[in-house]
Structure 1
């Protein structure tokens, strides 16, 4: 008996990847604003209707990579070890991400990642759309902190601070790497900055 649901999901993933890959290639070659959705659909050999079924907006063709990580911080808080505080879990996760060179930490010097970073930061429409994902991730983190017993107001304030710190650390790392500093060379400074940032957070948000 074949695994029809599994086959369908794999086919959907392949289609989604093919569309995104075609879009990124065209955007990097000619610029985000110079490429139409119809061209992307043609390059990916799908209809515009199919494209929009996977990516509701043109911006999502690029930013789905960020959207896939939207609830990362909230997920870390919910999956923390028994007895471990939310902030400590987030600190550990960020440091682990640095060690693994995860793109979300900014410490990744793979050419493709750098190219997308430059595309996003150099395109106003993408910057604006990214702000929406950032806001949603912050709200998800606030909800997770609330579930962990943090009062509602404190959870919202802490989520804003934590999100800003994570974003600032990642941007500093990516700016350094984009300027030509190898990820391995940036690593010690990235770790030191993260440790300092989370130490300041611990004294500011009132919980660890």
Structure 2
């Protein structure tokens, strides 16, 4: 019996497994191709040293910036003169004298005595807002004398005049002064608010 041949798989040249190409192989191939090409008229030749050309820089995508508008005050803010106990630029002399003597009609009061600084600041801002919106003119702010053993004065007694003279309260406050003894003396302030 004749010997039968088993068919063998025929492999074409293109079917052979190629080894993985590296970037260096690609660059060499590109250089060969580039040497055989004529550039278009009026165009510059690409640089001869391809390794010297830096890759384009990686740029992080720009994230959209959320723009916020600054808070608007209820009144326009101008360069307002500084307020202190003895400097009250928004008052005439007669009204300032009546305030110092305690001859004012108190239409509202708040007692900050015993509060923490943060709580007192919030309470004062809220109180002045409400009083101004209600059309009140003279209010009493009680800070407490806060005298300490070392002779220094209390935090609220120091801070409340600063809060009255700074934004947003300064836009509503005309003047302030220490209260008379019957209303708390140096532990309280008469505050005159602007007309609405």
Q: TM-score range by the shorter chain?
A: under 0.3
**Larger Cα Rg: Structure 1 or Structure 2?**
2
What TM-score does the superposition give when structure 2 sets the normalisation length? 0.27
Higher relative CO (Cα under 8 Å, sequence separation at least 6) belongs to 1
Higher strand share: 2
What TM-score does the superposition give when structure 1 sets the normalisation length? 0.26
Higher helix share: 1
